[in-house]
Structures are given as structure tokens and as C-alpha cells.
Amino acid sequence: MDMQTLVIHAARQTAAAAHAVNPPLVRTSTTVFDSYDAYKRAQSELVFDGPRYGRSGTSTTFELQRAMAELANAETCVATGSGLAAITAVLAAHAGPGRHILVSAGVYGPTRVFCDKELVPSGTDVEYFAHDADVSALLRDTTSLVFVETPASLTMEMWDVPAICAAAHERGVPVACDATWGTPVFFDAHALGVDISVHAATKFINGHCDLLLGLVTGTLDALAGVRAYCDRSGTHAAPDTCWLTLRGLRTLAVRMERHQRSARTVAQWLRSQPRVQRVLFPALETDPGHKLWRSQFSGAAGPFTVELAPCSEATFTRFIDRLSLFSLGTSWGGFESLVMPAVPHHLRALAIPADAPRLVRLHIGLENPRDLCDDLASALTA
């Protein structure tokens, strides 16, 4: 089925039993079993989509996991309490003293914080690599995982995912990818060779800015360690959150098309503004990563970064505060447009030189793009 059809019809098995169009919300802390044999089967570490205990999920959880696995062309899925919980579960499952993990530079800020503050002190060697690095030369006998996010959270740099996967797999190393920006609608991570795909469903997949959720997809074997880590750490998602995410999932394809269309309109308009030096958006033909984007993605999401001309802190503050349709916030993927200074976590304590360009990340929501351009024009004038 086409993706637009699939998001509507995937994972609605329990809806039929309830004579409802939507799967029912099932809450429970304790799962009961008809027999001792059924109980023993449920305790198997390979059980991903069956009841074990409330923390591991109810039928609502399993419906969402099945839907996401189907959309991502994957065998299975694990839902976690947030996007960051999904990322840390993947990293922690492959970490440990003496192990080496390669992580793409420019990765989501909290991902880097977790690596630097949790993994490194516990003995994992974490190495960051640039988008144009030769990954095959960086792999070691102790490398346990390559983790990449494409495009980069703030700089929008693109990574050559198939080349990274080919180099890693030649050495028997799995590849995980934070695919939140593209979602399965625009980015088929597993078809490109990715073993573990991570999504902050908080963002586009839910789309309503009212929950936190993470989703991890892959084969049963690839996610065995991740599932075990989630069981040990209790990072599973609550059924209420899964039900809300299923609600949002049904409109994912149409929302992504609208985000893409509006983002292209606003990005093209910004390119013509004298106070804008660059628009960092892989979907633009002028972007250095455009060729890679075109070969790996079928569309472009709403967030991109804008490089403003150098200005004082007071001038930059006036620009941010003058915006009325763009709310100041650090997330993206919802119905509303957002703006935030595009400064990496590990550099935020440093003063920005007066002659340095100012980077801001915009998320283009579902408003009329003409209104968004008018709002930006007013702020740039201020």
C-alpha cells in the first residue's frame, strides 16, 4: 500500500473487536495469563508485541509498535518514554568498558551530553566524526556501534548513510540512525542499510505537541539488546501516550506534505532577504548536501537553519522577540512554527563574537506560509 493509505490502516486489529474505528485504550499494571505455559512464553526476551507486565506494554502499545514497524519496513519496534530515552537505550545497549562507539558530529545536543557525561565516564570510548569523514578508517576492532543523525540537528549537514552502513557492515558493526527529521514518510532508513532506526515520536509522528515518546525499529535480533535495556531500566512508554500517538500517526503523511511545501516556500523567500546570508536546508539546490538528500530522502521536513548577518546581542534579541507567529521553543514537528538559536549544547556557555553570523533554526508549521514570511520580514526589519 501507499504510505498515505498505510498510515490510516496499519495496526487496527484490536479496533475490530471493540467495534470501533480506533484501537481502544487499554490501561493495566498487571497482566494475567490463562496458563503457566502462557506465562512462561510471555517471559521470553524475544517477546516484543505480547503482554508480559504493564510496564512492557498493553495491546495499545503493541498496536503502535506494529504500526511503526510496518511504516518503517522493519520486523519489530520498541516504544520508549521519550525520544531521548530511545536514543540512550540504543547507545547504552552497545556501550561498556573497552567498547568504541562512533557518533556523527552535530548530533542532537542531549545525545552528545549523554555520551560525554554517562558513557565516557563509564569506560566507553566515544568518537565524533564529520559528515565527510572516511568511516572505514575510523572503525576499530572494539567498535560496537555507529550512530548517525541525518541531517544534523542544527547545521543540517547530510551524511552518506549507505556508504556508512557498507563500511560498518564489512566489519560486522551495526548502524543506528536518528531518523526523526525525515520520518518513515520521507526516509526509508532500513532500505539504506540501517540496522536500528530511532524516532522521537514526540515530534512529527504525534504532531500535536502534547506528549513525549520514542520509537525504535529494526529486526528482532538487532533490537534484542535495546529491549533488554528497556526492561532493566523501565523506559517503556505508557499506554495513554501510545494511544495519543496512534491518533496523530493517522495524519502523518498529509501533515508531512504540508510541512514540506510550506518549508520550501519560506526557505526560498528567506534566500532573497538581504539580512540572510545562508539558508541551510538540504532540499534547496544551493545546499551542499542537496545531492545526498535527493538520493536518500523522498521529501523534506519542516525544520531548517538560517544564517543571519553578524549583529549585536541586543539586535539579535530584537529579532527573536519581534516574531509573533514563531514561538521560541526547542522542539519541532508540531502544528505550530518555532524558532530557536542554533547553538550546540557544548558551545552555549561561550560568548558569540560580534562579527560572527547568527544561526537560528526555524520549524515551519502548518500556518499559511505567506503569514510566516510576513512575520519574519517584520522581525528582520526590527
Of the residues 66, 108, 160, 287, only one is catalytic, namely 108
Surface-to-core class of residue 357, CB atoms within 10 Å of its CB (0-12 exposed, 13-18 middle, 19+ buried): middle
- The DSSP letter of residue 310 is P
SS3 assignment, position 362: strand
Give the C-alpha separation, 18 to 301, whole Å.
35
Pairing of the two strands 125-129 and 100-104? parallel
Catalytic residue among 178, 188, 287, 375: 178
Given the residues 12, 55, 271, 318, select the one marked as catalytic.
55
Evaluate whether 216 touches 197 at the Cβ level (below 8 Å).
yes
Active-site residue 229, yes or no? no
C-alpha to C-alpha distance for 182 and 188, rounded to whole angstroms: 9
The whole-angstrom separation of Cα 116 and Cα 369 is: 39
- What are 324's three cell numbers? 509573533
55 is catalytic: yes
Residue 146's nearest CA partner among 225, 91, 183 is: 91
Question: What are the DSSP calls for 47-62, one per residue?
Answer: -SSS-S-GGG--HHHH
Residue among 66, 203, 358, 361 flagged as catalytic: 203
Compute the chain's Rg from CA coordinates: 21
Sequence letter at residue 102? L
- With contact defined as beta carbons under 8 Å apart, do 22 and 15 qualify? yes
What is the Cα–Cα distance from 372 to 382, expressed in whole angstroms?
16
Q: Is 247 a catalytic residue?
A: no
**In terms of Cα–Cα distance, which of 258, 282, 255, 264 is closest to 373?**
264
266: helix, strand or coil: helix
Which candidate, 137, 132, 186, 138, places its Cα nearest to that of 158? 132
Question: In DSSP terms, which residues pair with 360 in a beta bridge?
Answer: 306, 341
Residue 203 among the catalytic residues: yes
Residues 6+ positions from 209 with CB-CB distance below 8 Å: 331, 334, 335, 336
Residue numbers annotated as active site: 55, 108, 178, 203
